[in-house]
Structure 1
Amino acid sequence: MKLYYAETMNPRKVCAVAKYLGSPVEYVRVDLSRGEQRAPAFLAENPNGKVPVLVDGDTHLWESTAIMAHLAVKAGSDLWPADAASQVEVLRWLSWDIAHFSRHGGSLYFEHMIKPYLGLGEPNAAAVEEATNFFRRFAAVLDAHLEDRDYLVGGKLSIADFGTGVLLPWAKEARLPIGEFPNIQRWHERMMALPAWREPFPEPLPVAA
């Protein structure tokens, strides 16, 4: 299997899952700053021009949630639950995250981290204010859900945790206001106890010349 990645939020999910599972993947780094995601060879793997991408034989998968599920199923791991009801719950939280929690957290991540990385100028103050307000709104939903739970679904670690928590390691840099949400902090501390979560990428970040 080949896993195309960069050191950004969506590849972080799949790299962490692959590392946690010990999946036999060959990591292929895509340099976004050099536009490698727009090269014809990469577009042949994913016409969207985005990472991550997993190539497993004849299976070519885009989208981090699908790749996480594929890796878990292939490994026979209960990161993808065996029972249908729990599978639906995992899908619910992953869908909620993409539509709400990481959507608005991702806007803060873009404004405070990706813009400087790509030389796109200063953060947009109006966009930051809007995203911060929405992030607080949906973080309150997640915080309430985690009040009496260690993990999002069924009391067990699942790909829902890897997906929904993806931005929390960058909370300080992205200026996510998670200090207001103690249950989210406690959950993330539990995730940070996993080596694969703390250090998901196969190599250290490259040093700029």
Structure 2
Amino acid sequence: MLKFYYSGAPNPMKVALFLEEAGVPYEAIPVDTRKGDQHKPEYTAINPNAKVPAIVDGDVTVFDSNAILLYLGEKTGKFMPPAGDKLRGELLSWLMFIASGVGPYSGQAVHFRNYAPDKIEYAINRYMYEAQRHYGIVDARLAKQKYMIGDTYTVVDMALWGWARLIPMALGETYWAKLPNLKRLIDEINARPAAARALAIKDKHTFKTEFDDEAKRAMFRHMHEKVA
């Protein structure tokens, strides 16, 4: 059975959504990032980047959430254009757009707005601007079509859902008003039974909730380890 190493963060949740949508049997294995589980040798042997998620599927190991979505989509043949379809180019382009832009800029916007010990105006403006710009591009595309890849629900929508559902945390509570088309898609995905099941996975395990010094050392190692 596929082993799914996860936490309740955006990137693991988009993989959880695919697993639930596709009906793939899996074992959910918690990685408590506030306790530093991601840095333990038994996990870095699976994912040397010490991030979640990762999967072990028989003798295949895949890390990075977008790589996992692509792997699972190709393996199952679900939520992907058929092989050779012209839409595959669009799917790869938009999946990488989310991987290289939406995710990183959203994550950094969340960090500098909510967790950085010093509120650095330049950093907050930089990452909020880029997150807003990327979401604006997505919203404009969704004004013309139902899903990111035409009229078909795909792994791209799942990848987008992982981060976009947390826009209030990244950009502020009022920002949804500027992204009506994206909100329409996220509301639709949130209403899917698979999304409810994906979000409920984390309730099966106990994760640390305190954001104390241990959590800060585990999650923000740069605050304690200087660059040589």
Counterpart in the other structure of 1:94: 95
Letter in 1 for 2:168: K
1:112 is displaced (CA, Å) by 4.3
Deviation string for 1:53-96 (max 9, x for gaps)? 1101110101111211222333331x122143222211100111
- Deviates further, 3-12 or 67-76: 67-76
Change (3 A) 1:13 1:124: farther
Counterpart in the other structure of 1:19: 20
Counterpart in the other structure of 2:156: 160
- Deviates further, 55-64 or 170-179: 170-179
* Structure 2 contact 11–163 (Cα < 8 Å) conserved: no
Q: Distance in 2 between matches of 1:9 and 1:128?
A: 20
Are 1:184 and 2:202 counterparts? Answer: no
1:98 is displaced (CA, Å) by 2.1
- Deviates further, 147-156 or 171-180: 171-180
**Structure with max Cα Rg:** 2
Q: TM-score with structure 2 length normalisation?
A: 0.80
1:198 is displaced (CA, Å) by 4.0
- Deviates further, 147-156 or 167-176: 167-176
Letter in 2 for 1:182: P
Q: Distance in 2 between matches of 1:127 and 1:195?
A: 38
* Structure 1 contact 149–155 (Cα < 8 Å) conserved: yes
Q: Unmatched 5+ residue regions in structure 2?
A: 211-228
Aligned-residue RMSD, C-alpha? 2.0
Counterpart in the other structure of 1:148: 144
User: Helix, strand or coil for the counterpart of 1:167?
Assistant: helix
Q: TM-score with structure 1 length normalisation?
A: 0.87
Q: Unmatched 5+ residue regions in structure 1?
A: none
Change (3 A) 1:99 1:66: closer
Q: Which runs of 4+ in 1 moved over 4 A?
A: none
Are 1:106 and 2:107 counterparts? Answer: yes
1:111 is displaced (CA, Å) by 3.1
Letter in 2 for 1:158: T
Percent identity over the alignment?
26
1:28 is displaced (CA, Å) by 0.4
Q: Distance in 2 between matches of 1:76 and 1:129?
A: 41
Aligned residues: 203
Alignment of 1:54-69 (within 5 A): 54-69=55-70
Deviation string for 1:171-193 (max 9, x for gaps)? 22333533212111112122222
* Structure 2 contact 17–198 (Cα < 8 Å) conserved: yes
Change (3 A) 1:173 1:199: farther
Letter in 1 for 2:35: R
